[in-house]
């Protein structure tokens, strides 16, 4: 296999550890055909923008044929492209164009279940003895696996649904239109692996694995995180590593970090399941810390986060298309967050309702910059959500998840430059309110203004990419005298970054014990300003409200420039 493929350097198997990810919803990014729906050709047009922004890897949520009852996560065909988005050829062109720019692409794979419209399910219900008869979890009764919780209490009464065709119940962990695949059946393994191969052969750089804890069921358990589920993931990993080295598996396991680490696999071999897992609790903790003006919500969760195997990495995010519900990560016995949330109506609302970053932060640029600085400097690879880099708003009247899936705002022109269609034809309306509307918030205007959030975000991404400490370095919480200031060191060999964040609206001082770096000189990263050298005494810094610093700690030798 060639080391270089397109514009990619495939020799760096750990590329994902320092990559900046960007989640983009194809249907809402750019409509090239003028039919009102974003498409793959439109996305390809905008690759120059993503390259300019500094994105290393694009994550595409499901774009497969689907009845779209669950945002495309109800897949009706694993190896095709939904017709309104494009064709397989369009995908190949997009992928090659991305690689030519050095941008990788990962796509979503839903392993646990399919749509009830998938031909496998249709065959399984009509021909129980045929090749697909055992592809799903069928039962004569609806009483098995009674210990499994029902995730969608509002819409589903049971995890079993009666199928009038086959005259049996089928198992579904999620919606009743999403029957669970039967991983007891080796043929399901083969079918899933060949679906992965289909995309890997086209050059896809990895997969986000949706809802991985639920693949197997076992009587008398919650049927989450079962040993056989892990065995299957190891099998997937071995298969991918053998035939397609350098590709990445990113697990969505909406669990506590101490349980999620199991999805990295065996630490002794550097991890043999998923390369990456999302770190879910860190996001609400950031919001809670800023609301409480206290570093403890963040510090505590990072302290409770186990170290990951050598070739693994957390994925962290502020927002994505599909928020966590706190019920899934909270355990009162070991965590106090539930208590804090339950008594604060505003926090509950913010987490429960799907909102974008900017409206959650009252459109306060200082807070948006602070949140982004945290996202780009805390341990893990940051996953940006399209539109947040310009501070896009949301439309709460669209309901459920659509409110945060409105079209990307490119220009102040018709349909925000997203589509040439008649505005009424757009699959989702563009944001038009006076604060967040596309006339006020758009890429074109922000690219033209050097002080915009977009330009600032881009500069921060570039700083991050120049320092391996962020992606690959260790993390040390420095504590310090002030409870409202979160300070930490990221250290990768000689590359030492000091990050200091004021979580409070008020100006704050902080004294940091940096005596181990006595003689080093902090250099502020956005302006290159040299701060006073570190001595034995506590290092005093003052920060404006919501202010933050990224410093590089230069050792005494390299701090003296050529002019001396």
Partner 1 sequence: MSTSTERPELAAYLARQRWFAGSQQITVTGVQPLAWLSDPSSDPGVRFEIVSVLCGADPAVYNVPLSYRSEPREDLSYGFIGAAIVDDRTRYVYDALHDPEARAVLLSGFEDGAQPPDDIRFDRLPGFALEPGVDNVLLGAEQSNTSVVAGDALVKFFRRLAPGVNPDIEVQEALTLAGSDEISPLLGSIRSGDFDLAMAGLFQRSATDGWDTARASVRALRDDAVRAREAGGDFAGEAERLGAATLAVHSRMRELLPTAVWGREDLEALVARLNRRLDEVVAAHPEVADYADGARAAYDRIDRSVPVAVQRIHGDFHLGQTLRTTAGWKIIDFEGEPSQPLEDRIRLDSPLRDLAGMLRSLDYVAHSIPALTGVISLDPSVDEAALADDWVRRNQIAFLFGYGFDRAEPMVTLLRAYEIDKAVYEVAYEADHRPDWMGIPLRALKGLIGAPEGR
Interacting residue ranges for partner 1, rule: CB under 8 A: 291-294, 296, 299-300, 302-303, 336, 339-340, 343-346, 477-484, 504-506, 511, 513, 515-516, 536-538
CB of 336 to partner 1, least distance (A): 6
CB of 562 to partner 1, least distance (A): 30
Residue 210 annotated among the catalytic residues of the structure: yes
| 3-state helix, strand and coil shares in percent for the chain, rounded to the nearest 5 | 35, 15, 50
Q: Which is nearer to partner 1, 336 or 462 (CB)?
A: 336
CB of 487 to partner 1, least distance (A): 10
SS3 425: helix
For residue 413, give both structure tokens: 């022109």
For residue 40, give both structure tokens: 């793959």
CB of 320 to partner 1, least distance (A): 24
CB of 510 to partner 1, least distance (A): 10
Q: Which is nearer to partner 1, 9 or 536 (CB)?
A: 536
> From CA 14, how far away is CA 495, in angstroms rounded?
18
Q: Which is nearer to partner 1, 477 or 491 (CB)?
A: 477
Dihedral (CA of 436, 437, 439, 445) sign: positive
Give the angle 113-118-120 at the CA atoms, nearest 5°: 85
Name, in order, each residue with C-beta under 8 angstroms of 68's C-beta and a sequence gap of 6 or more: 74
CB of 281 to partner 1, least distance (A): 14
Q: Which is nearer to partner 1, 340 or 364 (CB)?
A: 340
> From CA 437, how far away is CA 406, in angstroms rounded?
11
Name, in order, each residue with C-beta under 8 angstroms of 373's C-beta and a sequence gap of 6 or more: 460, 499, 501, 548, 550
> Which residue among 31, 39, 163, 210 is the active-site one?
210
Helix H, strand E, coil C: the string for 184-252 is CCHHHHHHHHHHHHHHHHHCCCEEEEECHHHCCCCCCCCCCCCHHHHHHHHHHHHHHHHHCCCCEEEEC
Select from 247, 202, 224, 211 the least CA-distant residue to 113.
Answer: 211
> From CA 500, how far away is CA 385, in angstroms rounded?
24
CB of 360 to partner 1, least distance (A): 13
> From CA 474, how far away is CA 120, in angstroms rounded?
46
Select from 323, 233, 301, 215 the least CA-distant residue to 273.
Answer: 233
> Which residue among 56, 252, 394, 402 is the active-site one?
252
Q: Which is nearer to partner 1, 146 or 537 (CB)?
A: 537
Q: Which is nearer to partner 1, 129 or 303 (CB)?
A: 303
Q: Which is nearer to partner 1, 177 or 292 (CB)?
A: 292
> From CA 192, how far away is CA 188, in angstroms rounded?
6
Point out the residues that are catalytic. 210, 252
């Amino acid at each position: 296999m060639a080391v270089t493929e397109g514009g990619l350097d495939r020799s760096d198997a750990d590329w994902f550890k320092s990559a900046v990810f960007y989640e983009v919803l194809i249907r809402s990014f750019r409509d090239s055909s003028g039919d009102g729906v974003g498409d793959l050709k439109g996305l390809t047009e905008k690759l120059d923008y993503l390259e300019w922004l500094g994105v290393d890897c694009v994550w595409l949520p499901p774009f497969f044929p689907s009845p779209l009852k669950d945002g495309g996560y109800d897949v009706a065909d694993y190896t095709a492209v939904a017709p309104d988005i494009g064709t397989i050829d369009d995908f190949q062109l997009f992928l090659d164009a991305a690689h030519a720019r050095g941008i990788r692409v990962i796509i979503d794979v839903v392993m646990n279940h399919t749509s009830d419209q998938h031909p496998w399910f249709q065959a399984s219900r009509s021909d129980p003895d045929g090749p697909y008869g055992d592809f799903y979890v069928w039962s004569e009764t609806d009483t098995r696996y009674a210990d499994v919780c029902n995730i969608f209490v509002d819409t589903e009464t049971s995890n079993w649904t009666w199928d009038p065709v086959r005259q049996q119940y089928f198992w579904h962990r999620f919606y009743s239109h999403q029957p669970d695949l039967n991983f007891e059946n080796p043929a399901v393994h083969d079918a899933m692996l060949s679906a992965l191969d289909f995309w890997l052969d086209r050059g896809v750089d990895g997969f986000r694995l949706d809802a991985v804890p639920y693949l197997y069921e076992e009587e008398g358990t919650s049927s989450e995180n079962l040993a056989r589920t892990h065995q299957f993931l190891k099998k997937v990993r071995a298969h991918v590593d053998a035939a397609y080295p350098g590709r990445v598996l990113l697990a969505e396991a909406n669990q506590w970090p101490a349980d999620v680490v199991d999805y990295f696999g065996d630490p002794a071999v550097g991890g043999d399941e998923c390369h990456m897992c999302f770190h879910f609790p860190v996001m609400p903790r950031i919001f809670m810390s800023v609301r409480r003006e206290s570093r403890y919500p963040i510090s505590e969760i990072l302290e409770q986060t186990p170290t990951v195997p050598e070739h693994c990495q957390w994925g962290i995010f502020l927002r994505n298309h599909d928020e966590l519900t706190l019920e899934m990560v909270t355990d009162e016995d070991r965590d106090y967050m539930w208590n804090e949330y339950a008594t604060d109506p505003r926090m509950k609302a913010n987490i429960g309702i799907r909102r974008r970053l900017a409206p959650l932060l009252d459109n306060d640029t200082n807070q948006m910059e602070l949140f982004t600085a945290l996202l780009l400097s805390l341990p893990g690879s940051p996953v940006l959500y399209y539109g947040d880099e310009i501070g896009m708003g949301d439309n709460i009247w669209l309901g459920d998840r659509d409110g945060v899936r409105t079209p990307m705002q490119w220009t102040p022109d018709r349909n925000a430059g997203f589509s040439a269609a008649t505005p009424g034809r757009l699959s989702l309306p563009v944001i038009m309110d006076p604060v967040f509307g596309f006339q006020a918030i758009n890429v074109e205007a922000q690219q033209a203004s050097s002080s915009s959030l977009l330009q600032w975000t881009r500069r921060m991404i570039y700083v991050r990419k120049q320092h391996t400490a962020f992606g690959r370095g260790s993390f040390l919480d420095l504590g310090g005298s002030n409870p409202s200031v979160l300070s930490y060191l990221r250290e990768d060999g000689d590359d030492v970054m000091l990050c200091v964040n004021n979580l409070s609206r008020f100006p704050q001082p902080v004294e940091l014990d940096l005596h181990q770096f006595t003689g080093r000189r902090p250099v502020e990263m956005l302006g290159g300003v040299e701060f006073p050298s570190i001595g034995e005494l506590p290092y005093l810094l003052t920060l404006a409200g919501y202010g933050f610093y990224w410093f590089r700690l230069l050792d005494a030798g390299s701090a003296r420039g050529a002019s001396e």
